[in-house]
Amino acid sequence: MELLRGALRTYAWGSRTAIAEFTERPVPAAHPEAELWFGAHPGDPAWLETDNGEITLLEALVDDPEGQLGPASRARFGDVLPFLVKVLAADEPLSLQAHPSAAQAAEGYMREERVGIPLTSPVRNYRDTSHKPELLVALHPFEALAGFRQASRTVELLRALAVSDLDPYIDLLNDQSDADGLRALFTTWITAPQPDIDVLVTAVLDGAIAYLSSGATEFAAEAKTVLELGERYPGDAGVLAALLLNRITLAPGEAIFVSAGNLHTYLRGFAVEVMANSDNVLRGGLTPKHVDVPELLRVLDFAPTTEEQLRPPIRREGFGLIYETPTDEFAVALLQLDDEYVGHEVDATCSHDGPQILLCSQGCTTVHGKSGSLTLKRGMAAWVAADDAPIRLVAHEPTKLFRATVGL
């Protein structure tokens, strides 16, 4: 068992304060800090602090796959860690994006390999062969757009904006099934000539201003979001696409699960993400990065969903909250050691013999495993190899600890 030092990624949409404060470093940071990766993805592996110095988690897995991963994980996923833990801090909206299925990722990766697109190229879509289902759990209030809204509800929103230029597009939703209508409308907008987009975005922004000025409240959050996106990305078709997605606000501890093909963007907030070990992203707008609309359209799932369907079931087991997700690659629990547990040693057993990543989001606790002990404070993480389990915890104050494991 070792301390795990995350790999920091800086993007323009990140925060100069959130991750720095979380990890108790000077604030503000020199650059916007967007993500802190705890995992063994080849693109940015985390670092283990061992008695012999630092090595990457990727190197540790190569040196001792059986001891680090255990037989169950190796039998299912081979000699790789199948999940990735991130801390995400967004002060500005992320790109409009979706992730491929496992089959789409494998095919897309091989296609780009055949044509010789380097893995480090900014126009590369598929950087590995894995799908990327992801669970996001809010640490602070978090706002997102995710999943296509029910078409009837979107019609109500578009009509509320009272923009005559939207009338033909409303007909697209009314004249066919929800999924077909959403596919037709999104495809029309995302592939429209730029002059047409400029006119329509301007009209929609004017409609949003008029709607808010009227004092109406039913779609106030959606109208404000469109105005924010329009200001940051003028003339971007993603501003229109935002009208089609569920707008979600998460309180701390609440979560959403994003499956393959789910169109989404995170607007702002601070959260923990756990996902399959992948960096495959297909972007459609709201970003200066590479956008590949045809490939995005190929992977999108246009079946409408609701906010309730995007929120995973959560069940309590002792001092843990279990976020139920339909994935073999990962399982996530939030271990909450309240006052009643402070100073007492408690077992924190897993249902299988795989590896664990522990991330402390509040408080201070000592973790005891077969190979030794270490103490985690807020912003610190630990790698628990398969042969280090089971572990025991002693909280020194009320503590919250995220635990990511293989989902077997």
Residues catalogued as catalytic: 283
Specify whether the CB–CB gap between 229 and 284 falls below 8 A: no
Specify whether the CB–CB gap between 285 and 96 falls below 8 A: yes
- Contact partners, residue 234, CB within 8 Å, separation at least 6: 201
Q: Helices 167-174 & 151-160, crossing angle to 10 degrees?
A: 160
Determine the distance from the C-alpha atom of residue 296 to the mean position of all C-alpha atoms in its chain, rounded to a whole number.
Answer: 17
**Residue 95: which of 248, 257, 242 has the closest Cα?**
242
Specify whether the CB–CB gap between 377 and 360 falls below 8 A: yes
In eight-state DSSP terms, residue 30 is S
Query: Any binding-site annotation on 264?
Result: yes
Residue 50: count of CB within 10 angstroms of its CB:
11
**Strand, coil or helix: 209:** helix
- Residue with structure tokens 């109406």? 216
Alpha-carbon distance of 357 to 172, in angstroms, equals 47
Measured CA distances, 58 to 4, 63, 120, 278, 286 (Å): 12, 9, 19, 14, 33
The radius of gyration of the chain from alpha carbons, rounded to an integer in Å, stands at: 22
Instruction: Annotate 352-363 with b (16+ C-beta within 10 A) or e (fewer).
Output: bbbbbbbbbbbb
Residues in the chain, how many? 408
CB-count exposure of residue 250 (10 Å: 0-12, 13-18, 19+): buried
Query: Any binding-site annotation on 344?
Result: no
Alpha-carbon distance of 100 to 341, in angstroms, equals 42
**Residue 310: which of 185, 177, 136 has the closest Cα?**
136
Query: Any binding-site annotation on 97?
Result: yes
Query: Any binding-site annotation on 396?
Result: no
CB-count exposure of residue 78 (10 Å: 0-12, 13-18, 19+): exposed
Specify whether the CB–CB gap between 167 and 317 falls below 8 A: no
Annotated binding site: 97, 99, 134, 264
Residues of the binding site for Zn(2+): 97, 99, 134, 264
